[in-house]
Amino acid sequence: MEKTKCIIIGSGPAGYTAAIYASRANLSPVLYEGDQPGGQLTTTSIIENFPGYPDGVNGNDMMSDLRSQAEHFGADIRFGSISAVDFSKVPYKLTVDDGTVIEADTVIISTGASAKYLGLEDEKKYAGRGVSACATCDGFFYRNKVVAVVGGGDTACEEAIYLSGLASKVWLVVRKNYLRASDIMQKRVRENPKIEILFNCNVYGLTGDGKVQGMKVVRNVGTQEEERFEHNIDGFFLAIGHKPNSDIFSQWIETDKTGYIKTYEGTPRTNLPGVFAAGDVADPHYRQAITAAASGCKAAIEAERFLQK
Ligand code: NDP
DSSP 96: E
How many whole angstroms from 241 Cα to the centroid of ligand 1? 5
Does residue 148's CB lie within 6 angstroms of at least one atom of ligand 1?
A: no
DSSP track, 170-198? EEEE-SSSS--S-HHHHHHHHT-TTEEEE
- What totals of helices (H) and strands (E) does the chain contain, helices first? 7, 19
DSSP 262: P
DSSP track, 234-252? SEEEE-S-EEES-GGGTTT
Does residue 26's CB lie within 6 angstroms of at least one atom of ligand 1?
A: no
What's the rounded Cα separation, in Å, for the pair 49 and 111?
A: 22
Kindly report the CA angle at 293 between 292 and 298, in degrees rounded to 5?
95
Does residue 152's CB lie within 6 angstroms of at least one atom of ligand 1?
A: yes
Report pLDDT for 71: 98
Does residue 173's CB lie within 6 angstroms of at least one atom of ligand 1?
A: no
Report pLDDT for 233: 98
- Closest-CA residue, ligand 1 atom 25, reads 241
How many whole angstroms from 68 Cα to the centroid of ligand 1? 31
Ranges of the chain with pLDDT below 70 = 45
What's the rounded Cα separation, in Å, for the pair 93 and 298?
A: 23
- Domains of the chain and any CATH numbers: 2-114+243-308 (3.50.50.60), 117-238 (3.50.50.60)
H or E element that contains 282 = none
Pairing mode, if any, of strands 214-219 and 227-232? Answer: antiparallel
* Pocket-testing residue among 155, 179, 197, 199, ligand 1, by greatest number of atoms within 8 A of Cβ: 155
How many whole angstroms from 116 Cα to the centroid of ligand 1? 10
Q: Active-site residue numbers?
A: 134, 137-138
How many whole angstroms from 39 Cα to the centroid of ligand 1? 18
Report pLDDT for 284: 87
CA within 13 Å, CB half, 197: 22
